[in-house]
Amino acid sequence: IEHRYQILGGKPCCVPDANKFDLARLLDDLYGAHYVEHPKMKKIMQLNAITDKDFMSGKDEAAAFKNKDFSKVYLSTLRKVQVFSKILELTAYKSLKTKSSIKEQYGLSLQGLYEYCTSNVLIMLLWQIISLILGGWIGSWFN
């Protein structure tokens, strides 16, 4: 975004590298490398019902820029920022739809199993019910 703004003649506010992150890498780390097919941004938008109004591919944006159709480039850039924001929001609330399996997301470890169980409301509810029943049953032995 900084580079694109410079090309358009602006002087961007520089964000320190320590405050930046790679959204694609973050999603790969959270959901596995195959969480969605290529082109990943377009596919994740479709899977999560995020509208693609004014969205253009990099190739189409370059062509619009070359043809001096700056309004299309502006709208596409604005749309991509909105899409990034929505993807981050869905990720933060653990509601981003992906095509990755539970194994790809959580791995095959005790920690992965724990994280899966604690993030699944139904499993947590079932665990609470089992704990309540077991607690009552074991407590009845001591009376």
Cβ atoms of 22 and 43 within 8 Å: the answer is no
Query: To which residue do tokens 């604690």 refer?
Result: 118
- Summarize the chain as % helix, strand, coil (round to 5): 65, 0, 35
pLDDT at 75: 95
pLDDT at 15: 80
pLDDT, tens digit (0-9, with 9 covering 90-100), for 70-125: 999 999 999 999 999 999 999 999 899 999 888 888 888 888 888 888 888 899 99
pTM: 0.69
Q: Which residues of 45-69 are buried (b: 16+ CB within 10 A; e: fewer)?
A: beebebeeeebbeeeebeebbeeee
Instruction: Name the residue among 63, 59, 57 with its Cα closest to residue 76.
Output: 57
Residue 75 CB contacts under 8 Å (≥ 6 apart), including other chains? 54
How far apart are the C-alpha atoms of 68 and 43, rounded to whole Å?
A: 28
pLDDT, tens digit (0-9, with 9 covering 90-100), for 9-22: 888 888 888 988 88
Kindly report the length of the chain: 143
Three-class DSSP category at 49:
coil
pLDDT, tens digit (0-9, with 9 covering 90-100), for 41-78: 999 999 999 999 999 998 999 999 999 999 999 999 99
DSSP 19: G
pLDDT at 121: 87
- Spans of all domains in the chain: 2-100, 101-143
